[in-house]
Amino acid sequence: MSELPPDLRRRAEAVPVRYEERVAAHWIADGVEPDSLGLFSGPGLRDPDASFSDEPPLVTLFLRNLWDWCEGDRDVYLDEVARTYLHEFGHYLGLEEDGMEERDLD
């Protein structure tokens, strides 16, 4: 977060980050892949129904999945945690997958 420009940092500070070991069964039942690295849930910044949502915006990072994906390489892991966070935060900002790819966050 500290590397974000000040305006984005303020927005990021308003979105909690939760850390989970792996993807929980209830997310898998909802269609989330078991090997997902992260997940954004709740309303996005530009969601017109955001004020009606009972669920706040939230970024979840799946730390064991990230570690496994990085094959235990600590430096790669730290980079991938940051990259995955930025990817999920991008969803909060309203970026779609093609926008993530343009910013090298796919």
Distance CA 105, CA 80 (A): 10
pTM value is 0.86
Please state the domain extents for the chain. Answer: 6-102
Give per-residue pLDDT as tens, 58-67: 999 999 999 9
Nearest to 81 by CA among 47, 89, 97: 89
* pLDDT tens digits along 46-55: 877 766 667 8
Looking at domain 6-102, its CATH class is: alpha beta
CA angle 84, 44, 40 (to 5 degrees): 30
Looking at the predicted structure, is the pLDDT value of residue 87 above 80? yes
Q: Phi first, then psi: what are they for 59, rounded to 5°?
A: -105, 130
pLDDT: which is higher, 45 or 57: 57
**Residues 5-22: tens digit of each pLDDT:** 888 899 999 899 999 999
